[in-house]
């Protein structure tokens, strides 16, 4: 099966940096779902916690990463390619786009709160993790990460309106974080808001052309929901170009598209079931 958007809810970082990948949960949807991103380094506090949520496996997040997440970004770094092997559906690398002031201090209380929320996520104590992220968000209203993590938590609980609301707040607070837009696109797609999902994925791609997950997710959207074989094939190709190790599953999808006629009817149920978004 393809990567499930819920499969990898990740621990997003507190603020504006980018996160790193971690495994996640698989979406019970019979159709292709966008891949989700994975855990983030401390530099993306809330984001990293989200990742933990997804697969209960988080990445180590150094204090420096936490600092990056808490402080406002000053400059953008060159886009980095991100990809994940088909066997690791829930894992997708997330290059850091904005690099905040590395010397910015991080309050010990904030670090402790983050660590507590992360541990709760990894242990599957979702209610506790939710309370922790809410508290962080209330105490740090300028940080988008906590809202992004809450958005992933709510999506896993099938609370899609709440998920969309939190992720919309995350992108408002951090409009240059492609990872948040990718997650928002996944939630919109699950709500059946395909135009909004397309816009969110395109925004993520525009912010980081080397970020593979939204390319794959947008390809799935065109393939299964918008029925545009040409666009889907192009996006799958761009995703594969950013996947050095290759992706046999997506390569099969490309072959499947070539055997279809355009305009095409909806893909066969078996084909649709294999498509899962990449977090």
Q: Is the pLDDT of residue 73 over 60?
A: no
Residue 211 near residue 178, CB atoms below 8 Å: yes
DSSP string, 12-38: B-BSSS-------PPP--SS--B----
67 pLDDT higher than 80: no
Report the pLDDT value the prediction gives residue 232, as an integer from 0 to 100: 97
Query: Residue 4 corresponds to which tokens in the numbers above?
Result: 């499930």
| H or E element at residue 150 | helix 145-156
d(CA 12, CA 50): 5
Q: Cα-flanking dihedrals φ and ψ of residue 211, to 5°?
A: -90, 110
pLDDT digits (tens, 9 = 90+) for 207-249: 999 999 999 999 999 999 999 999 999 999 999 999 998 999 9
* Predicted local confidence at residue 270, as pLDDT: 52
Residues 6-22 have pLDDT tens digits of 333 455 555 444 443 33
Q: Which of 213, 173, 160 is nearest to 44 (CA)?
A: 173
- Could you tell me the maximum CA-CA distance found in the chain, to the nearest angstrom? 59
- In tens, the pLDDT along 26-40 reads 333 334 545 443 333
Question: What pLDDT shows up at residue 118?
Answer: 79
Query: If you average pLDDT over every residue of the chain, what do you get?
Result: 71
The per-residue pLDDT for range 92-146, each reduced to its tens digit, is 323 223 333 344 566 888 888 988 997 898 888 999 999 999 999 999 999 898 9
pLDDT of residue 273: 55
Domains along the chain with CATH numbers: 45-274 (1.25.40.10)
> Are the beta carbons of 11 and 58 closer than 8 angstroms?
yes
pTM given for the model: 0.67
């Amino acid at each position: 099966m393809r990567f499930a958007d819920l499969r990898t809810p990740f621990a997003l970082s507190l603020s504006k940096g980018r996160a790193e990948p971690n495994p996640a949960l698989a979406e019970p949807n019979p159709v292709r779902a966008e891949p989700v991103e994975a855990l983030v380094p401390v530099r993306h506090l809330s984001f990293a916690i989200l990742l933990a949520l997804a697969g209960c496996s988080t990445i180590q997040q150094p204090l420096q990463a936490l600092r990056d997440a808490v402080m406002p970004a000053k400059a953008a770094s060159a886009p980095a390619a991100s990809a994940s092997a088909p066997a690791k559906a829930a894992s997708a690398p997330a290059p850091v786009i904005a690099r905040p002031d590395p010397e910015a201090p991080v309050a010990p209380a904030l670090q402790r709160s983050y660590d507590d929320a992360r541990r709760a996520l990894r242990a599957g104590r979702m209610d506790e993790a939710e309370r922790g992220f809410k508290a962080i968000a209330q105490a740090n209203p300028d940080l988008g990460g906590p809202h992004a993590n809450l958005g992933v938590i709510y999506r896993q609980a099938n609370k899609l309106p709440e998920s969309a609301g939190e992720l919309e707040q995350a992108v408002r607070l951090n409009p240059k974080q492609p990872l948040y837009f990718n997650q928002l696109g996944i939630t919109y797609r699950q709500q059946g808001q395909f135009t909004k999902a397309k816009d969110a994925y395109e925004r993520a791609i525009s912010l980081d052309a080397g970020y593979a997950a939204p390319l794959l997710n947008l390809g799935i959207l065109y393939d299964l929901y918008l029925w545009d074989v040409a666009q889907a094939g192009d996006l799958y190709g761009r995703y594969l170009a950013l996947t050095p190790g290759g992706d046999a599953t997506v390569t099969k999808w490309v072959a499947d598209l070539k055997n279809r006629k355009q305009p095409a009817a909806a893909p066969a149920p078996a084909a649709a079931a294999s498509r899962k978004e990449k977090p």
